[in-house]
Structure 1
Amino acid sequence: MLQVSTDKTKLDIKLIHDYLSKESYWAVGRNIEVVQRSIENSLCFGLYIDNKQIGFARVVTDYAVFAWIMDVFILKDYQGNGYGKKLMHAIMTHEKLQNLQRWGLGTDDAHGLYEQFGFKPLEKPQNMMEIKRRAEN
Protein backbone atom coordinates (compact mmCIF):
# COMPACT_ATOMS: atom_id res chain seq x y z
CA MET A 1 0.00 0.00 0.00
CA LEU A 2 1.36 3.42 -1.03
CA GLN A 3 1.46 6.09 1.68
CA VAL A 4 2.86 9.60 2.06
CA SER A 5 3.59 10.74 5.59
CA THR A 6 5.01 13.83 7.28
CA ASP A 7 5.77 11.85 10.44
CA LYS A 8 9.51 12.35 10.93
CA THR A 9 9.74 9.31 13.23
CA LYS A 10 9.01 7.10 10.21
CA LEU A 11 11.87 8.51 8.11
CA ASP A 12 14.77 6.19 7.34
CA ILE A 13 17.60 8.69 7.93
CA LYS A 14 20.27 6.25 6.72
CA LEU A 15 18.41 5.68 3.44
CA ILE A 16 17.93 9.42 2.96
CA HIS A 17 21.57 10.16 3.73
CA ASP A 18 22.83 7.35 1.49
CA TYR A 19 20.74 8.57 -1.45
CA LEU A 20 21.60 12.23 -1.04
CA SER A 21 25.31 11.75 -0.38
CA LYS A 22 25.97 8.97 -2.91
CA GLU A 23 23.32 9.01 -5.65
CA SER A 24 21.97 12.54 -6.03
CA TYR A 25 23.68 15.09 -8.25
CA TRP A 26 23.02 17.95 -5.84
CA ALA A 27 24.18 16.65 -2.45
CA VAL A 28 27.10 14.28 -3.09
CA GLY A 29 29.22 14.06 0.02
CA ARG A 30 26.68 15.69 2.34
CA ASN A 31 27.34 14.35 5.82
CA ILE A 32 24.77 12.72 8.07
CA GLU A 33 24.77 15.59 10.58
CA VAL A 34 23.79 18.07 7.85
CA VAL A 35 21.07 15.70 6.61
CA GLN A 36 19.71 15.31 10.14
CA ARG A 37 19.74 19.07 10.78
CA SER A 38 18.00 19.76 7.45
CA ILE A 39 15.28 17.24 8.34
CA GLU A 40 14.82 18.72 11.83
CA ASN A 41 14.23 22.17 10.33
CA SER A 42 11.95 21.22 7.43
CA LEU A 43 8.50 19.85 6.74
CA CYS A 44 9.43 16.39 5.47
CA PHE A 45 7.50 13.98 3.28
CA GLY A 46 8.32 10.29 3.21
CA LEU A 47 6.87 8.04 0.50
CA TYR A 48 6.33 4.43 1.54
CA ILE A 49 5.20 1.15 0.02
CA ASP A 50 4.13 -1.29 2.73
CA ASN A 51 6.01 0.82 5.31
CA LYS A 52 9.27 0.67 3.29
CA GLN A 53 10.53 4.14 2.40
CA ILE A 54 11.01 4.63 -1.35
CA GLY A 55 11.04 8.43 -1.63
CA PHE A 56 11.59 11.69 0.18
CA ALA A 57 11.18 15.43 -0.13
CA ARG A 58 11.40 18.33 2.24
CA VAL A 59 9.91 21.80 2.26
CA VAL A 60 11.47 24.85 3.88
CA THR A 61 8.72 27.34 4.60
CA ASP A 62 7.37 30.12 6.79
CA TYR A 63 3.87 28.62 6.36
CA ALA A 64 2.56 32.04 5.37
CA VAL A 65 4.22 33.41 2.25
CA PHE A 66 6.97 31.20 0.85
CA ALA A 67 8.02 27.56 0.45
CA TRP A 68 11.09 26.00 -1.16
CA ILE A 69 11.00 22.31 -2.15
CA MET A 70 14.28 20.44 -1.72
CA ASP A 71 15.94 17.03 -1.79
CA VAL A 72 13.19 15.32 -3.77
CA PHE A 73 13.96 11.75 -4.78
CA ILE A 74 12.46 8.38 -5.57
CA LEU A 75 14.75 5.38 -5.21
CA LYS A 76 16.06 4.17 -8.55
CA ASP A 77 14.18 0.83 -8.46
CA TYR A 78 10.87 2.68 -8.09
CA GLN A 79 11.34 5.48 -10.64
CA GLY A 80 9.09 5.65 -13.68
CA ASN A 81 5.95 4.52 -11.86
CA GLY A 82 4.37 7.89 -11.10
CA TYR A 83 5.59 7.96 -7.50
CA GLY A 84 7.27 11.35 -7.92
CA LYS A 85 3.94 12.74 -9.06
CA LYS A 86 2.21 11.28 -5.99
CA LEU A 87 4.85 12.78 -3.72
CA MET A 88 4.51 16.20 -5.34
CA HIS A 89 0.72 16.03 -5.14
CA ALA A 90 0.98 15.38 -1.39
CA ILE A 91 3.26 18.39 -0.99
CA MET A 92 1.18 20.76 -3.07
CA THR A 93 -2.08 19.78 -1.35
CA HIS A 94 -0.75 19.66 2.23
CA GLU A 95 -3.13 21.58 4.48
CA LYS A 96 -0.40 23.76 6.06
CA LEU A 97 0.95 24.85 2.67
CA GLN A 98 -2.20 26.27 1.12
CA ASN A 99 -2.46 29.96 0.18
CA LEU A 100 1.30 30.52 -0.02
CA GLN A 101 2.21 33.35 -2.38
CA ARG A 102 5.40 31.85 -3.79
CA TRP A 103 6.92 28.42 -4.22
CA GLY A 104 10.44 27.70 -5.41
CA LEU A 105 12.69 24.80 -6.30
CA GLY A 106 15.74 24.00 -8.36
CA THR A 107 16.19 21.07 -10.73
CA ASP A 108 18.55 19.94 -13.46
CA ASP A 109 16.38 17.17 -14.87
CA ALA A 110 12.76 17.09 -13.65
CA HIS A 111 11.22 20.16 -15.26
CA GLY A 112 8.42 18.08 -16.79
CA LEU A 113 7.33 16.76 -13.40
CA TYR A 114 7.26 20.16 -11.74
CA GLU A 115 5.53 21.86 -14.68
CA GLN A 116 2.57 19.55 -14.05
CA PHE A 117 2.17 21.31 -10.70
CA GLY A 118 2.37 24.84 -12.11
CA PHE A 119 6.09 25.54 -11.80
CA LYS A 120 7.61 27.72 -14.52
CA PRO A 121 11.00 29.31 -15.16
CA LEU A 122 11.53 32.48 -13.15
CA GLU A 123 9.49 35.37 -14.50
CA LYS A 124 12.22 37.85 -13.64
CA PRO A 125 15.46 35.92 -13.12
CA GLN A 126 17.32 39.24 -13.06
CA ASN A 127 15.57 39.98 -9.74
CA MET A 128 16.93 36.88 -8.04
CA MET A 129 20.23 36.84 -6.19
CA GLU A 130 22.10 34.20 -4.26
CA ILE A 131 25.11 33.49 -2.13
CA LYS A 132 26.82 30.18 -2.79
CA ARG A 133 29.19 28.85 -0.20
CA ARG A 134 31.14 25.67 -0.16
CA ALA A 135 29.09 22.99 1.60
CA GLU A 136 30.22 21.97 5.05
CA ASN A 137 29.27 18.42 4.04
Structure 2
Amino acid sequence: MTLRPVELDGDDTEELLALHREYGWWDEREREDVARALANTDLALGLRDGDELVAAARVLTDFVYYARVYDVVVATDRRGDGVGRRLLDVLTDHERLDDVNPVLLCREGLVPFYESAGFERYPESVAVPDDDAPDEEDLVTLIHTPS
Protein backbone atom coordinates (compact mmCIF):
# COMPACT_ATOMS: atom_id res chain seq x y z
CA MET A 1 0.00 0.00 0.00
CA THR A 2 1.54 3.27 -1.15
CA LEU A 3 -0.62 6.17 -0.04
CA ARG A 4 0.01 9.44 -1.81
CA PRO A 5 -1.41 12.71 -0.40
CA VAL A 6 -3.18 14.97 -2.89
CA GLU A 7 -5.08 18.23 -2.85
CA LEU A 8 -8.54 17.69 -4.29
CA ASP A 9 -10.33 19.88 -6.82
CA GLY A 10 -13.35 19.71 -9.10
CA ASP A 11 -11.80 16.89 -11.13
CA ASP A 12 -12.13 14.67 -8.05
CA THR A 13 -15.86 15.21 -7.61
CA GLU A 14 -17.02 11.80 -8.87
CA GLU A 15 -14.58 9.86 -6.70
CA LEU A 16 -15.36 11.96 -3.64
CA LEU A 17 -19.08 11.49 -4.23
CA ALA A 18 -18.54 7.72 -4.41
CA LEU A 19 -16.74 7.79 -1.05
CA HIS A 20 -19.52 9.88 0.50
CA ARG A 21 -22.17 7.48 -0.73
CA GLU A 22 -20.53 4.68 1.26
CA TYR A 23 -21.65 6.44 4.46
CA GLY A 24 -25.25 6.27 5.64
CA TRP A 25 -25.33 9.97 6.54
CA TRP A 26 -24.07 11.09 3.15
CA ASP A 27 -25.50 8.55 0.72
CA GLU A 28 -28.00 11.02 -0.76
CA ARG A 29 -25.48 13.72 -1.66
CA GLU A 30 -25.76 14.95 -5.22
CA ARG A 31 -22.89 15.46 -7.65
CA GLU A 32 -23.61 19.17 -8.14
CA ASP A 33 -23.58 19.80 -4.39
CA VAL A 34 -20.31 17.93 -3.86
CA ALA A 35 -18.76 19.89 -6.74
CA ARG A 36 -19.93 23.19 -5.21
CA ALA A 37 -18.64 22.15 -1.78
CA LEU A 38 -15.23 21.34 -3.24
CA ALA A 39 -15.12 24.63 -5.15
CA ASN A 40 -15.84 26.55 -1.95
CA THR A 41 -13.47 24.61 0.32
CA ASP A 42 -10.25 26.29 1.42
CA LEU A 43 -8.27 23.04 1.57
CA ALA A 44 -9.47 19.61 0.41
CA LEU A 45 -7.09 16.74 0.97
CA GLY A 46 -7.16 13.13 -0.11
CA LEU A 47 -5.12 9.98 -0.14
CA ARG A 48 -4.66 7.96 -3.29
CA ASP A 49 -3.51 4.37 -3.50
CA GLY A 50 -2.33 4.24 -7.08
CA ASP A 51 -5.06 6.03 -9.01
CA GLU A 52 -7.82 5.27 -6.49
CA LEU A 53 -9.03 7.91 -4.02
CA VAL A 54 -9.30 6.01 -0.72
CA ALA A 55 -9.75 8.84 1.81
CA ALA A 56 -10.60 12.54 1.92
CA ALA A 57 -11.31 15.47 4.21
CA ARG A 58 -12.25 19.11 3.73
CA VAL A 59 -11.04 22.09 5.79
CA LEU A 60 -12.73 25.48 5.98
CA THR A 61 -10.21 27.94 7.37
CA ASP A 62 -8.73 31.42 7.42
CA PHE A 63 -5.27 29.80 7.88
CA VAL A 64 -4.62 32.06 10.89
CA TYR A 65 -7.14 31.56 13.67
CA TYR A 66 -9.65 28.92 12.65
CA ALA A 67 -9.73 25.62 10.80
CA ARG A 68 -12.80 23.39 10.83
CA VAL A 69 -12.51 19.87 9.44
CA TYR A 70 -15.47 18.34 7.61
CA ASP A 71 -16.37 15.18 5.76
CA VAL A 72 -13.54 12.90 6.89
CA VAL A 73 -14.17 9.77 4.85
CA VAL A 74 -12.31 6.51 4.22
CA ALA A 75 -13.29 3.87 1.66
CA THR A 76 -15.23 1.07 3.33
CA ASP A 77 -12.75 -1.61 2.31
CA ARG A 78 -9.82 0.43 3.70
CA ARG A 79 -11.16 1.15 7.19
CA GLY A 80 -9.01 -0.38 9.90
CA ASP A 81 -5.90 -0.31 7.68
CA GLY A 82 -4.44 2.94 9.06
CA VAL A 83 -5.68 5.00 6.12
CA GLY A 84 -7.78 7.33 8.28
CA ARG A 85 -4.88 7.92 10.64
CA ARG A 86 -2.57 8.67 7.70
CA LEU A 87 -5.14 11.15 6.32
CA LEU A 88 -5.30 12.98 9.65
CA ASP A 89 -1.50 13.08 9.85
CA VAL A 90 -1.37 14.62 6.37
CA LEU A 91 -4.05 17.13 7.35
CA THR A 92 -2.58 18.18 10.70
CA ASP A 93 0.96 18.35 9.25
CA HIS A 94 -0.07 20.38 6.20
CA GLU A 95 2.11 23.49 5.94
CA ARG A 96 -0.85 25.76 5.24
CA LEU A 97 -2.35 24.78 8.62
CA ASP A 98 0.80 25.42 10.67
CA ASP A 99 -0.74 28.41 12.47
CA VAL A 100 -4.04 26.80 13.49
CA ASN A 101 -5.28 23.85 15.50
CA PRO A 102 -7.96 22.10 13.43
CA VAL A 103 -11.32 21.43 15.09
CA LEU A 104 -13.84 18.76 14.09
CA LEU A 105 -17.09 17.20 15.13
CA CYS A 106 -17.52 13.46 15.43
CA ARG A 107 -19.81 10.83 16.88
CA GLU A 108 -18.97 9.63 20.37
CA GLY A 109 -17.88 6.22 19.06
CA LEU A 110 -15.11 7.81 16.97
CA VAL A 111 -13.57 9.86 19.79
CA PRO A 112 -10.88 7.24 20.64
CA PHE A 113 -9.77 7.14 16.99
CA TYR A 114 -9.41 10.92 16.80
CA GLU A 115 -7.70 11.04 20.20
CA SER A 116 -5.12 8.57 18.87
CA ALA A 117 -4.41 11.10 16.10
CA GLY A 118 -3.70 13.95 18.54
CA PHE A 119 -7.16 15.43 18.97
CA GLU A 120 -8.58 16.21 22.40
CA ARG A 121 -12.16 16.54 23.54
CA TYR A 122 -13.29 20.15 23.69
CA PRO A 123 -15.96 21.08 26.24
CA GLU A 124 -18.66 21.57 23.63
CA SER A 125 -21.06 19.19 21.97
CA VAL A 126 -23.54 19.83 19.22
CA ALA A 127 -26.98 18.30 18.86
CA VAL A 128 -27.43 16.53 15.55
CA PRO A 129 -30.08 18.45 13.62
CA ASP A 130 -30.83 15.53 11.31
CA ASP A 131 -33.55 13.09 12.31
CA ASP A 132 -31.80 10.41 10.22
CA ALA A 133 -28.62 10.56 12.31
CA PRO A 134 -27.68 7.24 13.92
CA ASP A 135 -29.02 6.92 17.48
CA GLU A 136 -29.80 10.67 17.57
CA GLU A 137 -26.55 11.25 19.44
CA ASP A 138 -24.77 14.54 20.00
CA LEU A 139 -21.61 15.26 18.09
CA VAL A 140 -18.44 15.71 20.13
CA THR A 141 -16.12 18.63 19.41
CA LEU A 142 -12.41 17.79 19.22
CA ILE A 143 -9.40 20.04 18.72
CA HIS A 144 -5.99 18.97 17.45
CA THR A 145 -3.27 19.71 19.97
CA PRO A 146 0.21 19.21 18.58
CA SER A 147 2.61 17.39 20.85
TM-score by shorter chain over 0.5:
yes
Identity of aligned residues (%): 25
CA distance in 1: counterparts of 2:17 and 2:10, whole angstroms: 15
Indicate the structure with greater strand content. 2
Between 104-113 and 45-54, report the one with greater CA deviation. Answer: 104-113
Q: For residues 50 and 11 of structure 2, what CA distance do their matches in structure 1 show? A: 12
Q: Paired residue for 2:9?
A: 8
* Residue identity opposite 1:105 in structure 2: L
Following the alignment from structure 2 to structure 1, what is the Cα–Cα distance between the partners of residues 25 and 102? 19
TM value normalised by structure 1: 0.79
SS in 2 for 1:99: coil
Between the aligned partners of 2:3 and 2:119, the Cα distance in structure 1 is 25
**Quick one: distance in 1 between partners of 2:26 and 2:76?**
16
In the alignment, the residues of structure 2 paired with residue 5 and residue 85 of structure 1 have an alpha-carbon distance, to the nearest angstrom, of 15
Structure 1 residue 41 corresponds to structure 2 residue 40: yes
User: 87-96 or 48-57: which moved more?
Assistant: 48-57
- The question of 1:87 aligning with 2:87 is answered yes
Q: Tell me the CA shift for residue 112 of structure 1.
A: 1.8
Q: Please state whether the residue corresponding to 1:106 is helix, strand or coil.
A: strand
CA drift at 1:133: 8.8
With over 3 angstroms needed to count, the CA separation of the structure-2 counterparts of 1:120 and 1:26, relative to structure 1, is farther
Tell me the distance in 2 between the aligned counterparts of 1:28 and 1:88: 23
Report SS of the residue matched to 1:65: coil
Distance 2:82 2:130 in 1: 34
3-state SS, counterpart of residue 115 of structure 1 = helix
TM-score of the two chains, using structure 2 as the length reference: 0.75
Q: What is the aligned partner in structure 2 of residue 51 from structure 1? A: 51
Deviations 1:48-92 (A, max 9, x none): 111211111111111111111111111111111101111000000
Q: Quickly say closer, same or farther: Cα 1:26–1:65, change in 2 above 3 A.
A: farther
Q: How many Å separate the matches in 2 of 1:91 and 1:97? A: 8
Question: Which residue number corresponds to residue 106 of structure 1?
Answer: 105
Gaps of 5+ in 1: none
Stretches of 4+ moved more than 6 A in 1? none
- The AA in structure 2 aligned to 1:84 is G
Structure 1 residue matching 2:28: 3-state secondary structure: coil
Count of equivalent residues: 128
CA-CA distance at 1:95 after TM superposition: 0.2
